[in-house]
Amino acid sequence: MTFKELGLTDTLLAGIDSMGYKQATPVQEQVILPILAGRDIIASAQTGTGKTGAFLLPIIHKIITEPHDENKINALIIVPTRELAIQIADNMEGLGYFTNVSCIAVYGGGDGNSFTTEKTALTSGVDMVVCTPGRMIAHLNMGYVNLKEVKYLVLDEADRMLDMGFQDELMKIISFLAPERQNLLFSATMPHKMRDLARKLLNEPVEINIAVSKPPEQIVQKAFVVFENQKAPLIKHILKLKDYTRVIIFCSKKQNVKQLASELKRARFKVEEIHSDLQQDQREKVLQDFRNKNLTILVATDILSRGIDIDEIELVINYDVPNDGEDYIHRIGRTARAQSQGTAYTFISPTEQRKFAVIETLLEKEVEKAQVPEEFGEVPTYNPASSPRPEGKGKPFKNGKKPWKKKS
């Protein structure tokens, strides 16, 4: 279906065309028309399916075509991370370029000047606000923000916000809104706590499910069963096999991010790191360098698994097994976006095998276990049913040999 067939205004269609979009994605086809009709929405879709456009486009259209107070906030979009807030605001700038719809991203981590800029926009009036919960509450506590005119409330990646412990903050923000509004809830997964939230907020919603909790089919998934001290050497080996343009390596701990990035820099790879210890301007510069292909590899915590809109990421490597299946899906969903192909490798140490087996259950398939090159020596046997033990604490080695160890 084309965007013109969805009945969007000409100025909005001009913005869509300028960004190179031709056909609506499945989630956009199913979501845009009910939103235009004024229905509440609860939509579940995997990353990279066009969720952002699915709610931005009809909201922009309605702001353009329906009466509204230009000096008030008309749409409030709440997201879990500053990266996602910036991404949505950037998309809004492109899609709404030929319209007069205004937008500001409100998020923490900046300096006093950014807070003042946000305050000015929030008090003088802006059509659309994209915010993180904590930063919006900071403004609300100052007493100068009026949300009573908000007609459209969007909770994007709502499951992630609940996982991050933002439920109380969400309910506090929502308490400042008028009850008469359109509510749009978007989530990658639908656990029980998500449905509880939906029952509190939504009024006879249209429910839409697009490939819930499944990664895109065009992602080639493989896993390497290794010992912990084999992970970094194997990553360097893999990165030397092909001239990659963009690679993301995910680690669950900041310390692992720092250590691995440092080791890859010593090996002369074009690499930078992203984690919560960096200031916002540092993170933005790293992401911009990555977009511009001034660096090849990002080593990051799960802060980057959602909220970046960068295509042509050829390879995602899970340095460690994510804590749950949802994190796994979001990590590997950074590749194979916009119908392109991509590859995702996961490294599994002996103590992570049970955790990966749970992920395979969620995926409803076994991920191929790739062959570790012989030069790395012996590797563990994949047997998630056995009780994991730390390496060197009595677990038998394959063929009775000790594991390979990095030379000093």
On whether residue 101 sits in a domain, the answer given is yes
The sheet carrying 152-155 orders its strands as 103-106, 128-131, 75-78, 152-155, 182-187, 41-45, 206-210
The pair of structure tokens assigned to 307 is 């909220």
Let me know whether 308 and 355 are in one domain.
Answer: yes
On whether residue 175 sits in a domain, the answer given is yes
| Max Cα distance, the chain (Å) | 76
Position 44 scores a pLDDT of 85
Q: Is the CB of residue 78 less than 8 Å from the CB of residue 154? A: yes
Let me know whether 203 and 225 are in one domain.
Answer: no
- H/E stretch holding 75 reads strand 75-78
Nearest alpha carbon to residue 266 among 287, 245, 236:
236
How many folded domains does the chain comprise? 2
Q: Determine the structural domain holding residue 330 and report its residue range.
A: 219-400
Let me know whether 193 and 237 are in one domain.
Answer: no
Q: Is the CB of residue 392 less than 8 Å from the CB of residue 349? A: no
- Beta strand extents in 264-318 (DSSP E only): 271-274, 297-300, 315-318
Nearest alpha carbon to residue 308 among 47, 114, 55, 92:
47
On whether residue 39 sits in a domain, the answer given is yes
Position 87 scores a pLDDT of 83
Let me know whether 42 and 137 are in one domain.
Answer: yes
Between 159 and 407, where is the model more confident? 159
pLDDT at 406 over 80: no
Position 266 scores a pLDDT of 96
Let me know whether 235 and 193 are in one domain.
Answer: no
Position 363 scores a pLDDT of 84
Positive or negative, the Cα torsion across 221, 226, 231, 234?
Answer: negative
Let me know whether 126 and 50 are in one domain.
Answer: yes
pLDDT at 399 over 50: no
> Domain end: 151, 183, 210, which one?
210
Kindly tell me the burial class for residue 295, based on how many C-beta atoms sit within 10 Å of its own C-beta (0-12, 13-18, 19 or more): middle
149-188 pLDDT tens trace: 999 999 998 988 998 889 999 999 999 999 999 999 998 7
Rg (CA), the chain: 23
Question: Within 10 Å of residue 257's Cβ, how many Cβ atoms?
Answer: 24
Between 359 and 50, where is the model more confident? 359
Let me know whether 100 and 202 are in one domain.
Answer: yes
User: Where does 192-271 have alpha helices with state H?
Assistant: 192-201, 231-241, 254-266
On whether residue 350 sits in a domain, the answer given is yes
58-106 pLDDT tens trace: 999 999 999 888 889 999 999 998 888 988 998 899 999 999 999 999 9
> Domain end: 210, 240, 273, which one?
210
On whether residue 96 sits in a domain, the answer given is yes
First to last CA, the chain: 59
Position 213 scores a pLDDT of 53
- H/E stretch holding 26 reads helix 26-36
Let me know whether 355 and 394 are in one domain.
Answer: yes
**In the predicted model, what is the mean pLDDT of residues 384-389?**
63
Position 215 scores a pLDDT of 76
What DSSP assignment string belongs to 307-352?
Answer: S-------EEEESS--SSHHHHHHHHTTSS-TT--EEEEEEE-GGG
Let me know whether 152 and 189 are in one domain.
Answer: yes
Which CATH number do you get for residue 83? Answer: 3.40.50.300
Let me know whether 202 and 236 are in one domain.
Answer: no
Bridge partners of 154?
A: 77, 184
Q: Is the CB of residue 52 less than 8 Å from the CB of residue 88? A: yes
Q: Is the CB of residue 296 less than 8 Å from the CB of residue 244? A: yes
On whether residue 297 sits in a domain, the answer given is yes
DSSP state of 4: G
299-334 pLDDT tens trace: 998 877 665 667 788 999 999 998 777 678 878 988
Let me know whether 205 and 178 are in one domain.
Answer: yes
On whether residue 231 sits in a domain, the answer given is yes
CB proximity list for 318: less than 8 A, separation 6 or greater: 250, 328, 331, 332, 344, 345, 346, 347
48-52, 117-121, 168-172, 203-207: segment of lowest average pLDDT? 48-52
Full-model pTM? 0.63
> Which of the four pLDDT bands, split at 50, 70 and 90, describes residue 339?
low
> Which of the four pLDDT bands, split at 50, 70 and 90, describes residue 277?
confident
CB proximity list for 167: less than 8 A, separation 6 or greater: 161, 193, 197
Output the CA torsion 383→389→395→401 (10° steps): 90
CA 54/CA 24 separation, integer angstroms: 9
Let me know whether 285 and 167 are in one domain.
Answer: no
> Which of the four pLDDT bands, split at 50, 70 and 90, describes residue 48?
low
> Domain end: 160, 179, 210, which one?
210
Q: State the average pLDDT for the chain.
A: 87
On whether residue 407 sits in a domain, the answer given is no
Bridge partners of 265?
A: none
